[in-house]
């Protein structure tokens, strides 16, 4: 019999649309990256300081499968017991595990509130889980009545990103608490950008809500996107399930060591978080003066969502100059919008000067 790949690939995999970043879409050479909401100021650690240390880490041995030292340090920083912490290969691993633990393929569903982070839907499609989309309101807040109507006995997960990506705003806390108090499934609070927000984290509420999972990351304010270390905080019963299902050695030894060292430098994180807030305000002011800028939305994150006349043309112009931003024009409520990460002072200045030369 003749082998046919087409016949053995799962139907949901055939149909799914993969996650695509701006760097997937850009094929040239860039000099300024303002597309992925990384920390443009670097990180509190770097490999050049480890010339003697890394070889001593015994790479012939597997890393700690439960990352105990890292969790102990996180426990002190976050004020939550180690037993309530899961570490993953980026927050994406934690997201995927939640689908695999709580959702029955081809039967259960989840709720998403677009515009929001794209990996929730991608993970749902990979796991053959139906997504119900209840768009945010025009001012980027939850539609509580529509959410209540959408929930059914097969709704197992609700994802809330706050501050939200790509809009940058925080979601009304009272609305989140309404969902937590009335939904019998798992509520996932994605707080990737919480360090930049004036809003309080939901981590202290874990003792009150046994169905709450809070996601955070070292990729943003900590400047460690390249290490791929994501965090989930939840009741011990949920964390135990995540550790049960994850691959044994999901965080490599180098990532564990560098993450641990970075956590000993909280002053660096605090200083650069303040610096990004200053640069964000300057960038917001300068973007607002451009003749083709229509709206610069308020942001509690390290990026700005900007509505521009002929946004796609602006995006392509910036790409031609080696400056990469994120085109969000095809996303609901984000027509003609670009998402622009706050860069260094020099990067932001170059961005504005380049935009001033754009001719629509």
Confidence at residue 46, expressed as pLDDT on a 0 to 100 scale: 67
The H-assigned helical ranges of the chain are 5-8, 11-15, 22-25, 68-78, 91-102, 119-126, 144-150, 173-182, 236-245, 253-263, 266-288, 311-320, 345-356
Confidence at residue 259, expressed as pLDDT on a 0 to 100 scale: 94
The token duo for 205 is 């509420």
CATH 3.40.640.10 boundaries in the chain: 60-265
Q: Which CATH architecture has domain 5-43+267-356?
A: Alpha-Beta Complex (3.90)
CB neighbours of 285 closer than 8 A, spacing ≥ 6? Answer: none
* Residues pairing with 274 in the sheet: none
Q: What is the DSSP string of 270-335?
A: HHHHHHHHHHHHHHHHHHHTSTTEEEE---SSSEEEEEETTHHHHHHHHHHTTEE-EE-TTSTT-T
pLDDT in tens, 241-298: 999 999 999 999 999 999 999 999 999 999 999 999 999 999 999 999 999 999 999 9
Confidence at residue 195, expressed as pLDDT on a 0 to 100 scale: 95
Contact 217, 232 (CB under 8 A): no
Query: 7-21, 240-254, 343-357: which has the minimum mean pLDDT?
Result: 7-21
For residue 19, name the pLDDT band (cuts at 50, 70, 90). Answer: low
The Cα 298–Cα 302 span in angstroms is 11
More confident residue, 74 or 30: 74
The token duo for 295 is 């709206």
Q: What are phi and psi of 178, to 5 degrees?
A: -60, -45
User: Closest Cα to residue 69, out of 245, 257, 238, 227?
Assistant: 257
> From residue 306, how far is each of 9, 49, 293 by CA, in Å?
40, 39, 7
The Cα 269–Cα 275 span in angstroms is 10
Residue 274, Cβ density class (10 Å: 0-12 exposed, 13-18 middle, ≥19 buried): exposed
User: Closest Cα to residue 340, out of 190, 165, 218, 120?
Assistant: 165
More confident residue, 50 or 160: 160
> Taking each helix axis from N to C terminus, what angle separates 91-102 and 119-126, rounded to the nearest 10 degrees?
40
* pTM for this entry: 0.91
Contact 260, 69 (CB under 8 A): yes
- pLDDT score of 153 more than 80: yes
The pairing of strands 337-341 and 303-308 is antiparallel
The Cα 122–Cα 102 span in angstroms is 16
pLDDT in tens, 50-91: 545 555 567 788 899 999 999 999 999 999 999 999 999 999
Residue 279, Cβ density class (10 Å: 0-12 exposed, 13-18 middle, ≥19 buried): buried
∠ CA 306-309-310 to the nearest 5 degrees?
105
pLDDT in tens, 307-330: 999 999 999 999 999 999 999 999
> Taking each helix axis from N to C terminus, what angle separates 266-288 and 253-263, rounded to the nearest 10 degrees?
80
Confidence at residue 36, expressed as pLDDT on a 0 to 100 scale: 79
CB neighbours of 281 closer than 8 A, spacing ≥ 6? Answer: none
More confident residue, 35 or 357: 357
> Taking each helix axis from N to C terminus, what angle separates 236-245 and 91-102, rounded to the nearest 10 degrees?
100
Mean pLDDT of the chain: 91
Confidence at residue 47, expressed as pLDDT on a 0 to 100 scale: 56
What CATH number was assigned to the domain covering residues 60-265?
3.40.640.10
More confident residue, 127 or 17: 127
């Amino acid at each position: 019999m003749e082998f046919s790949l087409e016949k053995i690939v799962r139907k949901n995999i055939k149909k799914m649309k993969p996650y695509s970043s701006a760097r997937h879409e850009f094929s040239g050479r860039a000099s300024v990256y303002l597309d992925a909401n990384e920390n443009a100021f670097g990180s509190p650690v770097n490999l050049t300081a480890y010339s003697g240390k890394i070889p001593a880490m015994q790479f012939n041995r597997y890393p700690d499968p439960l990352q105990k030292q890292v969790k102990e340090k996180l426990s002190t920083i976050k004020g939550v017991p180690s037993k309530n912490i899961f570490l993953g290969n980026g927050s994406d691993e934690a997201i995927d595990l939640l689908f695999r633990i709580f959702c029955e393929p081809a039967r259960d569903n989840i709720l998403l509130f677009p515009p929001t982070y794209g990996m929730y839907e991608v993970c749902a499609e990979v796991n053959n889980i139906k997504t119900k989309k209840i768009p945010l309101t025009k001012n980027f807040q939850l539609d509580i009545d529509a959410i209540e109507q959408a929930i059914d006995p097969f709704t197992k997960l609700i994802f809330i990103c706050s501050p939200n990506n790509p809009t940058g705003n925080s979601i009304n806390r009272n609305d989140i608490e309404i969902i937590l108090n009335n939904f019998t499934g798992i509520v996932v609070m994605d707080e990737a950008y919480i360090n930049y927000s004036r809003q309080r984290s939901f981590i202290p509420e874990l003792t009150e809500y046994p169905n709450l999972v809070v996601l955070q990351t070292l990729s943003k304010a900590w400047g460690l996107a390249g290490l791929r270390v994501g965090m989930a905080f939840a009741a011990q019963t949920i964390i135990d399930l995540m550790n049960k299902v994850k691959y044994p050695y999901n965080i490599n030894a180098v990532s564990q060591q560098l993450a641990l060292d970075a956590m000993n430098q909280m002053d660096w994180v605090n200083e650069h978080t303040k610096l990004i807030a200053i640069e964000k305000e300057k960038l917001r002011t300068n973007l607002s003066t451009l003749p083709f800028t229509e709206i610069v939305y308020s942001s509690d994150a390290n990026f700005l969502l900007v509505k521009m006349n002929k946004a796609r043309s602006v995006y392509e112009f910036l790409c031609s100059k080696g400056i990469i931003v994120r085109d969000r024009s095809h996303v609901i409520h984000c027509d003609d919008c670009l998402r622009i990460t706050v860069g260094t002072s020099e990067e932001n200045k170059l961005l504005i000067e380049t935009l001033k030369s754009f001719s629509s």
